[in-house]
A and B are shown apart, each in its own frame.
Chain A
Amino acid sequence: MAGLMAGFGHYTHAVVRGIPASLAKEALRTSQAEVDLTGARTEHDAYVEVLRTKLGLEVVELPADESLPDCVFVEDAAVVCGETALITRPGAESRRRETEVMKEALKDLNLNIVEMTDENATLDGGDVLFTGREFFVGLSKRTNQRGAEILADAFKDYAVSTVPVLEGLHLKSFCSMGGPGLIIIGSSEPAQKALKIMQQMSDHRYDKLTVPDDIAANCIYMNLPDKGHVLLHCTAEEFPESVKVFEKLKDHMLIPVSNLEKVKVDGALTCCSVLINKKANI
């Protein structure tokens, strides 16, 4: 059944994009770290491989665009929920064109495309947390109220609540879903504050899984037919303490994915793919 909110975490397709060489130097970043382009590419390949081979998703790989150094972070370009895809208007001017190819790709997947044409609206997909029951949109440097409103309009079935993001790039820079009704949250004060707000705003109850490192809270959760709960999370080399926390998730298939390089340009795990459930809605 196409039921609303059915099958949270069930995906059939993933859209990813290659890493342009310009990423190393030109990609936006909040810190001044040197990115090892090769390392980043290796990482990314491994990531895609997990999606494709290990999880069996149909992966749509978009070509990198040198003029778009951040284009690997496809998540920001589109928000897909059910059969609807909202093409965003990224907050960073330099990233606006990233949506073009994305839009085409999603069209090809027969999704209903909604575009954010309002000049005053900005929205990065990284600020959008979909819990299965509702959306939380972080109001950050990249996302504004208007962007959130348009998202709310695009996904009318769901409540869309706004959450101020005081620190960090995106809302999902310190949180993500770890299962139905389970929010993985970083332990920093801003993260905890944001969680409180989310809990207050929601009619639903969420469990939380607090991890010591904010960035480690960004994981990819899936619920796949033959695999059950799957969680892609950071590796033990990166955040050993946080990984210990994940290991407590007995019901999940845990898949550590390295993200050492991309994180230098504020790329987290969820940033690098747009997940789609083509059969979710009948």
Chain B
Amino acid sequence: MTTEAGSETEVKEKAEETSAQPDQSETAEQEGQEVANVEGEEKEKGKEKEGKEGKGITRYLPTWFKKQKSQSQTSPTKEVPPAGEPVSKATEGEEEPAPEVNGHAEEVEEKEEVKSEEAKEATAAESDSTASAETEPAREEKVEDATAKSEETTKEAAEAEGAEEEQKEKERQGHVEAEADGGESQTSIFQSPLRLVRKNKMKVVVCRVTLLDGTDFTCEVEKRAKGQYLFFKVCEHLNLLEKDYFGLTYKDSHDEKCWLDPTKEIKRQIRSNNWHFAFSVKFYPPDPSQLTEDITRYLLCLQLREDVSSGRLPCSFVTHALLGSYTLQAEFGDYEPDQPRPLDFISQLTFAPNQNKEMEEKILELHKSHRGMTPAQADIQFLENAKKLSMYGVDLHHAKDSEGVDIMLGVCANGLLVYKDRLRINRFAWPKILKISYKRNNFYIKIRPGETEQFESTVGFKLQNHRSAKKLWKVCVENHSFFRLNAPEAPTKARFLTLGSKFRYSGRTQAQTRLASSLIDRPAPSFERTSSKRISRSLDGAPVISITEAGSETAENGRDPHLELHSDSKAKEVDLSHVDVEAKPSQQQSPGRAEPAPSQVHTLLLDLDKTQDEVLKHQASISQLKRSFMEAPPPSPPQPNQWEKRLTSSPATTIRVQQQQVTPEVEIEETVVIQEVSRAVKLGLVPVTADSPATPPAEPEPKPQDQIEKVEEEAAAVEEVKPVKPERASSESESEEEAEYQPNVAASITQTKIPEEKEEEEEEQMTKEEEQQQVSPPVVPAPPVEASEPAEELSQEEEEEAKKEDTSVVEEKKDDQEEKESGRETEESTDDPMVTPEEAPEGLILPDETLGAKPTEEQERPKMNGEASLVEVDPRPQVICCSEPPVVKTEMVTISDTFAAQKTEIATKEVPIVHTETKTITYEAAQLDGNGDGEPGVLMTAQTITSESLCTTTTTHITKTLKGGLSETRIEKRIVITGDCDIDHDQALAQAIKEAKEQHPDMSVTRVVVHKETELAEEEED
């Protein structure tokens, strides 16, 4: 799947480029890309064509999807379709890529359905190359598929976007920028007539965005556009490249400020007709001096000035004066002794909530001392002081503690702060937090046990209502992800259940954005500061010119440094841009893969790595993990070199960080209950998951319970799910009553793109363990089995996928027993490996299925998930066995054909029928210590090796446990082999075991679980 993701991204990018091309003169780069595109296109052409001509696309599109599309682009009618996520995803796809393409694609579709002529014309006119047109449809298809995939898609999309952005950046850097952007803009210009026509048909909304300087930026956006689209529009308008620190907010129906989720449709979020937003700083960089561009710092300054003057960012008199003086210097330059500005001039400016003459005098006095300082320098000084303020970057939320006392919870880069009145009464650094969850109006954090404590504790807070609890939770998830992770976490994939908020931070993390911005190479853009604008009003007319230029010169459009267009000009721009908008929406989705290829997925859970080289690497990574784990260091920045290489080499490729670093992470267990039934179940779960401190050896017990519960849930979910449409899922996220997010220590997730992988389910199962997500190499095209369809509907039907998955889990144990003090020191323990039996079971199967397989799954999720879980269930018993202490199990084999029983007919025609055979084999060696728990210390590594036909993924979990003075380290390796050709499973397994033994001679293999899933049959809609 990973592979696909990668390809998708590329496709998207290509799509953009392609779109741009026709209009613009082609740049060499573009050409190159084109070629690539073409190739890519051609591959899929066949499929696409089918789709096009035979209305094929429509055919396999789920009905809801079709509707959506048609609505969005063509038909004015809008339904507020129930389709939550899928739709949104689709939308995303659309937005992101080049607008034009979308337009074409849509048109194509539409031809048959509704309109024809225009579309054709447009197509012809716009796209010189038919090929592009063709391609587009394909993309769409993909998109759709992606949609089906569900969350994955979203993530991918996000990543893709990221990629795009980067690309853009590069382009800009290389001066090509202008062209690229220009491409868009030009295109829009050229096509404008057509588009205008179309416009009428499309539902377009005017968004008003209040910028940091207080001015409004208006732009038209297709009604279905996602948050991202608007955000990018704004950033483009601002000429802002380091945009990841920023976001858009809107006021919800309760007049509370909310962050606009970039991955979702705007319309669904605002839930009102008030298309008014504010551009704000979302993540305050702890060290603004590390920002690359002055313009970014300038915007941050604007935000902070507002924060300070409004009192949101409290500071002392002296600091007010100091900050004010830098503001003066930045805005007005040197103090002029000859023409001292009258005091009343200053008093027109607001520097502080309780500004008075004394302060103004002080400001002026200090201003004098800044003589010679450039505006940029003044901004830097401003920020250097502002960043030290204790409330800098702290997002406060009202809450009550367990005793009902009013407190404030502050979310910031370092963690969660608890304030009572002005006093900080507690602080939970991110590394101390194991899990963040909310349920109704309660917000919980599970705290890692301290040195002297044995068990983790859970701290609960009461928020005003469910909404605010969720909002806080989201903010926490985002802040944690942004500041602590190297790469955003994969959105929960299709878990068993669709339940729960899948919300995850989808943007770039600080580490990523830093890297990205380190590559910014454009000449510093000139920009006007508010006051200077004021001063130079006479020049206002000028901007118009720039607009014109934009029109004529493609290149310059978006990019030009003149960000600040005066109002008039802005308006014009808007029109243009809006054109783009229309086009854009359709495109993106391309990446989704439509056809399911029969693939085999083998999952081997082993302790081993495949190749010896890898072994070495692996070991290295392990040690690295250990180290990092021990130190619990801040996320190490991705290695620049790699990034650069990637960036440079393949512009098309999104930046993926595939490092396996151990960042303190967050594992996410979310549980959101969609329906009541499920809720009930969950409730049950919740308790389990959150082990109360009281529960002592939490692990062993909880797991089984969890599993059981899960099973129940799944069952429930399945039932429920069916009725529920995919859309719901999306909606759910909003309605969900609870969700969890677990920052895991170990997991390094590398992939930007491929989010999904295994984890989801496992997490739940593997309660404490973190797993890593593996980054699957984007490259491999075929392997994964995919049911391309939007499975959602499928979901119920069971599709059996024709996949084979073999999951083998080999646990090696090494028992070194050391007498340790009760304290568990993770680090040390790491060194002495002991095996904890338990974890394995959890890890077993699921992930891969998800991974390997298919985008489809998401859609299917309900079912698939359910199935998956079922499958898992089988293995679980093993788990139980494991938990039995001294019992030595030599071998245990479980073979189940789960699916046969479950198969259900698929009602939907679109759904492919897949038969899946699942086999699970477990091998367990004697265990010295039966207790399993994995707890606090878990480290993981993941490696993915991809070849054309095979995709092998190795995940390593290292768990340390201190029990009664013994430290145990268990290493669990999961190897997933996915491929569409025949694989000699036995051999693979044998080799894996052998390697494991070789690799860890001092450890013993205690258990091997092989889970094999085979796709017996597959239907491809395509």
Measured CB to CB, the residues of A under 8 A from B are 1-5, 82-84, 112, 133-134, 137, 145, 148-149, 152-153, 155-162, 200-203, 281-282
Chain B residue contacts of A148, Cβ below 8 A: 423
Which residue from B389, B425, B429 sits with its C-beta under 8 Å from A161?
B425
Q: Is the CB of A159 within 8 A of B390?
A: yes
Residues in A neighbouring B22, C-beta threshold 8 A: none
- What's the Cα separation between A158 and B424 when bound, in Å? 11
How far does the alpha carbon of A155 sit from the alpha carbon of B319 in the complex, in Å?
A: 10
| Cα distance A62–B788 in the bound complex, in angstroms | 85
Contacts of B384 in A (CB 8 A): 3
Contact indicator per residue, chain B 416-449, by CB within 8 Å of chain A (1) or not (0):
0000111111110100000000000000000000
CA distance A202 to B429 in the complex (A): 9
Residues from chain B with Cβ under 8 Å of A281 in the complex: 318
CB A39 to nearest CB in B, in angstroms, measures: 40
Give, as a whole number of angstroms, the nearest-CB distance from A278 to chain B. 13
Taking A4-B388, A4-B389, A84-B316 as contacts, is the C-beta distance between A162 and B425 under 8 angstroms?
Answer: yes
User: Are A161 and B424 interface neighbours, CB within 8 A?
Assistant: yes
**Is B316 within 8 A of A282, CB to CB?**
no
Which residues on B sit within 8 Å (CB–CB) of A5? 388
Taking A159-B424, A162-B425 as contacts, is the C-beta distance between A134 and B318 under 8 angstroms?
A: no
Taken together as a complex, chains A and B put the C-alpha atoms of A3 and B388 apart, in Å, by 9
CB distance from B255 to the nearest CB of A (A): 27
B366 at the A/B interface (Cβ < 8 Å)? Answer: yes
Alpha-carbon gap, A25 to B319, bound state (A): 45
Known contacts A3-B385, A5-B388; 13 additional CB pairs below 8 A are A2-B318, A2-B366, A4-B388, A133-B388, A145-B420, A148-B423, A153-B422, A159-B390, A160-B423, A161-B427, A201-B426, A202-B427, A203-B414
**Residues of chain B contacted by A84 (CB below 8 angstroms):** 316-318
- Tell me if B56 counts as interface (CB < 8 A to partner A): no
Residue among A5, A83, A112, A156 having the largest count of chain B Cβ atoms under 10 Å? A156
Q: How many residues of B contact A (CB 8 A)?
A: 26
Contact A162 B318 (CB under 8 A): no
- Looking at the assembled complex, report how far the CB atom of B428 sits from the nearest CB atom of chain A, in whole angstroms: 9
Provide a sorted-by-A list of 24 A–B residue pairs whose CB atoms are within 8 angstroms: A1-B381, A2-B318, A3-B322, A3-B385, A3-B388, A4-B388, A4-B389, A84-B317, A112-B317, A145-B420, A149-B422, A153-B422, A155-B316, A156-B314, A157-B315, A157-B388, A157-B389, A157-B390, A158-B390, A160-B422, A161-B423, A200-B427, A201-B424, A202-B427
The minimal Cβ–Cβ distance linking A194 to chain B, given in whole angstroms, is 14
Alpha-carbon distance A82/B318, docked complex (angstroms):
9
Cα separation A114 to B540 with both chains bound (whole Å): 48
Chain B interface, >50% SS class: mixed
- CB contacts (< 8 Å) of A112 on chain B: these are 317
State whether the Cβ of B369 lies closer than 8 Å to any Cβ in chain A: yes
Docked CA distance A170–B318 (Å): 29
Q: Closest B-chain residue to A133, C-beta based?
A: B388
A83 — which chain B residues lie within 8 A by C-beta? 317-318
Q: Indicate if the CB atoms of A282 and B423 lie closer than 8 Å.
A: no
User: Shortest Cβ distance from B241 into chain A, in angstroms?
Assistant: 29
| Selected contact of B421 from candidates A149, A156, A157, A282, CB within 8 Å | A149
Contact check, A4 vs B425: say whether CB atoms are below 8 A apart.
Answer: no
Cα A201 to Cα B366 in complex, Å, equals 34
Which residues of A have CB within 8 Å of B424?
159-162, 201
* Closest-CB distance, B316 to chain A (whole angstroms): 5
Q: Kindly list chain A residues whose C-beta atoms are within 8 Å of the C-beta of B426.
A: 200-201
Task: Please report the C-alpha to C-alpha distance between residue A154 and residue B225 in the assembled complex, in whole angstroms.
Answer: 47
Residues of B within 8 A of A203 (CB): 414, 427
* CB nearest to A150 among chain B residues: B422
B369 surroundings in chain A (CB, below 8 A): 282
* Chain B residue at smallest Cβ distance from A280: B318
- Of all chain A residues, the one with the shortest Cβ separation from B386 is A4
Chain A min CB distance to B644 (Å): 31
A149 CA to B931 CA, complexed, in Å = 48
Complex: how many Å from CA A282 to CA B314?
A: 21
CB distance from B318 to the nearest CB of A (A): 5
Contact with A along B302-320 (1 / 0, CB 8 A): 0000000000001111110
Residue in A closest to B388 when the chains form the complex, CB atoms:
A4
Residues of chain B within 8 A of A156, CB atoms compared: 314-316, 319, 389
Complex Cα spacing A133 to B392, Å: 13
A2-B322 in contact given A149-B422, A159-B390 (Cβ < 8 Å)? yes
Q: Which of B322, B369, B390, B414 has the most CB of A within 10 A?
A: B390
Q: A2-B322, A112-B317, A156-B315 are in contact. Are A149 and B390 (CB under 8 A)?
A: no
Residues of A within 8 A of B317 (CB): 83-84, 112
* Other-chain residue from B314, B366, B388, B423 in contact with A162 (beta carbon distance below 8 A): B423
Cβ distance B138 to chain A, nearest Cβ, rounded Å = 51
Q: In the complex the two chains form, is B385's CB within 8 Å of A4's CB?
A: yes
Contacts of B421 in A (CB 8 A): 149, 152
Bound CA span A156–B389, Å: 8
The residues in B between 281 and 335 inclusive whose CB is less than 8 angstroms from any CB of A are 314-319, 322
B737 nearest CB across to chain A (Å): 31
B427 surroundings in chain A (CB, below 8 A): 161, 200-203
Chain A residue at minimum C-beta to C-beta distance from B311: A156
- Shortest Cβ gap from A121 to chain B (Å): 12
Complex CA gap A256/B314 in Å reads 40
- In the bound assembly, the distance between CA atoms of A262 and B424 in angstroms comes to 33
| Nearest-CB residue, chain B, relative to A203 | B414
Q: In the complex, which of the residues B316, B322, B425 has the most CB atoms of chain A within 10 Å of its own CB atom?
A: B316
Chain B positions within 8 Å of A1 at CB level: 381
Interface residues of B in 377-431 (CB under 8 A from A): 381, 384-385, 388-391, 414, 420-427, 429
Task: Give residues of chain B (347-375) contacting chain A, Cβ–Cβ below 8 Å.
Answer: 366, 369
Separation of A134 and B417 alpha carbons in the complex (Å)? 14
State the CA gap A112–B358 with chains docked (Å): 12
Q: In the complex the two chains form, what is the Cα distance from A155 to B317 in whole Å?
A: 9
Q: Taking the nearest CB of chain B, how far is it from the CB of A276, in angstroms?
A: 14
The verdict on A149 contacting B414 (CB below 8 Å), with A4-B319, A155-B316 known, is: no
Closest to B358 in A: A112
- Give Cα A153–Cα B316 distance, bound, in whole angstroms: 9
- Are A145 and B423 touching (Cβ within 8 A)? yes
Find the A residue at minimum CB distance from B421. Answer: A149
- The interface centre, meaning the residue of A157, A200, A202 with most chain B CB atoms within 10 A of its CB, is A157
| Distance of A234 Cα from B429 Cα, bound (Å) | 36
The answer to whether B422 touches A152, judged by C-beta atoms less than 8 angstroms apart, is: yes
Q: Which 9 A-B pairs have the closest CB atoms?
A: A159-B390, A152-B422, A156-B314, A161-B424, A4-B388, A149-B421, A201-B427, A157-B316, A156-B316
Task: Give CA–CA (A202, B390) in the complex, Å.
Answer: 10
Known contacts A3-B384, A4-B389; A152/B423 CB under 8 A: yes
How many Å lie between the Cα of A202 and that of B425 in the bound state?
Answer: 11
List CB contacts (< 8 Å) of B15-47 with chain A.
none
Query: Which A residues are CB-close (under 8 A) to B429?
Result: 200
Shortest B875–chain A CB gap in Å is 40
User: What are the residues of chain B within 8 A of A153 when measuring CB–CB?
Assistant: 422
Q: Is the CB of A149 within 8 A of B423?
A: yes
CA distance A148 to B315 in the complex (A): 17
Minimum C-beta distance from B833 to chain A (A)? 30
In the complex, which of the residues A133, A158, A202, A282 contacts B366, with contact meaning CB atoms closer than 8 Å?
Answer: A282
- Report the separation of the CA atoms of residues A282 and B369 in the bound assembly, to the nearest whole angstrom: 10
For residue A95, give the distance in angstroms from its CB to the closest CB of chain B. Answer: 23
* Residues in B whose Cβ lies below 8 Å from that of A2: 318, 322, 366
Q: What residues of A have a CB within 8 angstroms of the CB of B315 in the complex?
A: 156-157
When chains A and B are docked, how far (Å) is the Cα of A200 from the Cα of B366? 37
Measured CB to CB, the closest approach of chain A to B403, in angstroms, equals 14
Nearest CB of A to B304, in Å: 13
Contacts of A161 in B (CB 8 A): 423-425, 427
Smallest Cβ distance from B451 to chain A, in angstroms? Answer: 9
Q: A112 to B359, alpha carbons, bound, how many Å? A: 12
| Residue in chain B with minimal CB distance to A112 | B317
Question: Nearest chain-A residue to B427 (Cβ)?
Answer: A201
| Chain A residues in 8 Å Cβ range of B316 | 82, 84, 155-157
Alpha-carbon gap, A160 to B422, bound state (A): 7
